A and B are shown apart, each in its own frame.
Chain A
Amino acid sequence: MKKKVLSVLLAATMVASVLAGCGSAAQTAAPAAEPAAAEESAPAEDTAAADTAAADTAAADTADAAADTAAADTAAPAASGGGTYALVTKSAGNPFMERMASGFQEAVEASGGTVVIQNPEAATPDAQISVVQSLISQGVSSIAVDGNDANALTAVLTEAKDAGIKILTLDSDVAPDTRTVYCNQAGVSQIGQTLMEAVYDLTGGEGDWAILSATSQATNQNAWIDAMKSLMESDSKYAKLNLVEVAYGDDEPQKSTDQTQALLQNYPDLKVICAPTTVGIAAAAKVLQDQKSSVKLTGLGLPSEMAEYIGDDDAHSCPYMYLWNPIDLGRLAGYTSIALVDGSITGAAGDTFTAGELGSYTIEEIDGSTQIILGPPFKFDPSNIDEWKSVY
């Protein structure tokens, strides 16, 4: 009896690990991936789990090993001439992060460096902390982080800095004194200005509008929302616009749907919803389009997620929206990592360097923190959505 059960269990684990292995085969770029990951995860009775951990997204394995850490996409044989450059994304299983990582990888490999990409399983600071700790012990040359929290990573990043590792951030920043430079997809005020202008245009210059954000502690969301608010206060052009509420959908489709429906019911005169988050904007777009609502939507969204909803006529809920190119953002972070490690920039304001095909960039001092700004946000409308929806 016992034996039978044991064999069933074993068989199940094996099937899971084999399947997991298959799934990752296409992605595992470096042949070194498997042994490296296996080394990390340890005990003998867990061999099946170790195999699974080698798969790009972890989690499949049963217990402790995978819960937070998530294994390497491309594991790193240390001690290569060009140095090892790490990227820590917000979370696994997100196409935006995946494109960003591919840009980063491309830039670093073109310059002869080795890449380590870590995707934490959950979009939480805790998951990133354990990932960064393992990178410190691997002795990488630089770590680029897409912060899940502004302050929670301070301790571990300081530890990394003290170990001589160059720290930079991209997409979403952390506390400025814990990193050298922040690769900003677009300036906060630039995004605030663009979104405010879109709201102004879609409302016709006056009336009620609302914001649907992600979580209430998301660093970049809050910065953009603050920028929009301060624009409304300072510029009399927007005096007739009335921001009725900032709702939080926590980047969950279900909660974002509830919140959007509540906005529609609470504010019958609502004209526009602005959702600067990819999950929120897609959920809101579906609600508005299904209900054939006259409320219009704009914000920041993924073209592939939003293609269904973008159009000028009444049958579509979103006339246009914005985003930046995640591949270019990843590239910029890749080139910045290399420049920091080889010493061609120190991270001080005024430093200039060439980011490959992206051209020349200068580190700017914005609100007391050093940043590199990728460029203005890109507008997606009915004229170009078809060519972009298959890209990301």
Chain B
Amino acid sequence: MKKKSIGQFLSGSREASLVIVLAVLLIVVGIINPSFLSFTNIRQIFLNNTLTFLMALGMLCVMLTAGIDISITSTLAFAGMSIGLMQKYNILHNTFLLFIIGALIGVVCGFLNGLIIAKGNVAPIICTMGFMYIWRGMAYVISNNNWASGMDVAGFSDFGKDGAPGPYIILIVAYVLFFVIMKWTRFGRRIYAVGSNLEAAKVSGINVDSTLISVYTIMGLLAGLAGVLSVSIYASAQPNMQYGKEMDVIAACVIGGVSMSGGRGSVTGTFLGALIIGIISKALPMVNIPNFWQNLIKGVIILAVVILNVVTQRTMERQNLLRREM
């Protein structure tokens, strides 16, 4: 058996090239600022990006079906604002129940998305754009110009305190669960089937509508949970919370090799993509890059990784083809 060359290893798997990008990022930042590689800092990368990590899983499912959901941070704000206000007005202070309520709000929001997209044949970007305004608007309406602040959510915010295990546990459970679902369950494979070839999926008896509805409902559930987590981690609920952050989630998926046209992407890739996004936002202020340059550099890194991704993908396909011809 011939040994694989580095080039072949690199192009053998998209995840491998992401790992290398990650390693390069870590080494460069680590050299400029050694404290970046400290345990506390790595831990904070996960904590500060819990929301991106969590929602990227849902976005993976949505994008696998060739869809997209840009209403997620609005759902997040609506769910987060709701549970924030419940504490502000002393309606409920039970952390567990607050999580359940936030998740339920998310499920309803996501279900409506799925229903309209699947049954109404509305383009996902259009439908979720509508809900992006609706749920964000609802967050403003229910807030009635108030924020839930640190003292209102005292106690509840201990769950997401820097150093508390809660958010990490949620992340680990979610990633393990999705890894198993996407790889080894019938439901997971159905999602891939719907995205890679819709007609074939229909012919083979897959209920496309119910798959689509489930996918958007899952996205909503994760966005709702992210809303609760956001209130807990930042000890504050504001109607404009995480405004515009859906782009970070989509970017995490795209960097992780999830295809916008569906059918292609993995939980591992999504994890690595989200990690790269997290590292970029954490590293840029630490390597003393002037503030004005940070967004620009973030964009350049995202594009570079995606281009690398596409190139790897092509080499991979060409090699597969060669192998088949022989």
Residues of A within 8 A of B (CB): 1, 4-5, 8-9, 12, 16, 19-20, 23-24, 26-27, 52, 55-63, 66-67, 91-95, 97-98, 119, 121-122, 216, 247-248, 252-255, 257-259, 261-262, 265-266, 279, 282-283, 285-287, 290-291, 302, 304-309, 389
- Say which residue of B151, B243, B282 sits within 8 Å of A389 (CB atoms): B151
* A19 and B149 within 8 A (CB): no
Chain A residues near B239 (CB, 8 Å)? 57, 92-93
Chain A residues near B35 (CB, 8 Å)? 265-266
- Say which residue of B120, B162, B236 sits within 8 Å of A290 (CB atoms): B162
* A261 and B143 within 8 A (CB): no
* B136 and A59 within 8 A (CB): yes
Given contacts A247-B285, A266-B33, A308-B154, is CB(A24)–CB(B234) below 8 Å?
A: no
Bitwise, B119-134 to A at CB < 8 A (1) or not (0) is 1110000000010011
Q: How far is the CB of A307 from chain B (nearest CB, A)?
A: 5
For the complex, give the distance between the alpha carbons of A26 and B142 in Å: 11
* B162 and A62 within 8 A (CB): no
Given contacts A5-B120, A286-B234, is CB(A254)–CB(B41) below 8 Å?
A: no
Total residue contacts A-B, CB cutoff 8 A? 165
Which residue of chain A has its CB nearest to the CB of B245? A254
B204 within 8 A of A: no
For the complex, give the distance between the alpha carbons of A279 and B242 in Å: 13
Q: How far is the CB of A332 from chain B (nearest CB, A)?
A: 20
Chain B residues near A59 (CB, 8 Å)? 133, 136-137, 140
B281 within 8 A of A: yes
Chain B residues near A253 (CB, 8 Å)? 234, 236, 238, 241
What are 22 sample pairs from A and B whose C-beta atoms fall under 8 A apart? Answer: A1-B119, A27-B145, A52-B137, A57-B239, A59-B133, A59-B136, A66-B137, A67-B133, A91-B240, A93-B238, A95-B145, A253-B241, A254-B51, A257-B48, A258-B282, A265-B35, A266-B286, A279-B238, A282-B236, A291-B162, A305-B149, A308-B235
- Say which residue of A62, A302, A304 sits within 8 Å of B130 (CB atoms): A62
* A259 and B285 within 8 A (CB): yes
Chain A residues near B146 (CB, 8 Å)? 95, 98
B90 within 8 A of A: no
Q: How far is the CB of B74 from chain A (nearest CB, A)?
A: 9
Residues of B within 8 A of A (CB): 33, 35-36, 38, 41, 44, 48, 51, 112, 115-116, 119-121, 130, 133-134, 136-147, 149-151, 154, 157, 161-163, 234-236, 238-243, 245, 281-282, 285-286, 288, 291-292
- Say which residue of B116, B120, B141 sits within 8 Å of A60 (CB atoms): B141
Chain A residues near B139 (CB, 8 Å)? 93
Which residue of chain B has its CB nearest to the CB of A251? B240
- Say which residue of B36, B116, B140, B240 sits within 8 Å of A8 (CB atoms): B116
The interface residues of chain A, by DSSP majority, are classed as helix
For the complex, give the distance between the alpha carbons of A144 and B102 in Å: 39
- Say which residue of A60, A247, A306 sits within 8 Å of B133 (CB atoms): A60
Chain B residues near A259 (CB, 8 Å)? 285
Most buried by A among B239, B245, B285: B285
- Say which residue of A5, A247, A255, A291 sits within 8 Å of B119 (CB atoms): A5
For the complex, give the distance between the alpha carbons of A200 and B177 in Å: 52
* B116 and A306 within 8 A (CB): no
Most buried by A among B112, B121, B149, B241: B149
Which residue of chain B has its CB nearest to the CB of A6? B120
* B137 and A58 within 8 A (CB): yes
For the complex, give the distance between the alpha carbons of A306 and B241 in Å: 18
Q: How far is the CB of B286 from chain A (nearest CB, A)?
A: 5
The 9 closest A-B pairs by CB, nearest first: A60-B137, A59-B137, A308-B150, A98-B145, A57-B140, A262-B285, A23-B141, A93-B239, A290-B162
Which residue of chain A has its CB nearest to the CB of B240? A93
Which residue of chain A has its CB nearest to the CB of B112? A12
- Say which residue of B144, B157, B282 sits within 8 Å of A26 (CB atoms): B144
Chain A residues near B234 (CB, 8 Å)? 253-254, 257, 283, 286
Which residue of chain A has its CB nearest to the CB of B288? A266
* A8 and B120 within 8 A (CB): yes
Which residue of chain A has its CB nearest to the CB of B152? A304
* A20 and B141 within 8 A (CB): yes
Q: How far is the CB of A49 from chain B (nearest CB, A)?
A: 10
Which residue of chain B has its CB nearest to the CB of A55? B141
Which residue of chain B has its CB nearest to the CB of A261? B44
Which residue of chain A has its CB nearest to the CB of B136? A59
- Say which residue of A16, A26, A307 sits within 8 Å of B151 (CB atoms): A307
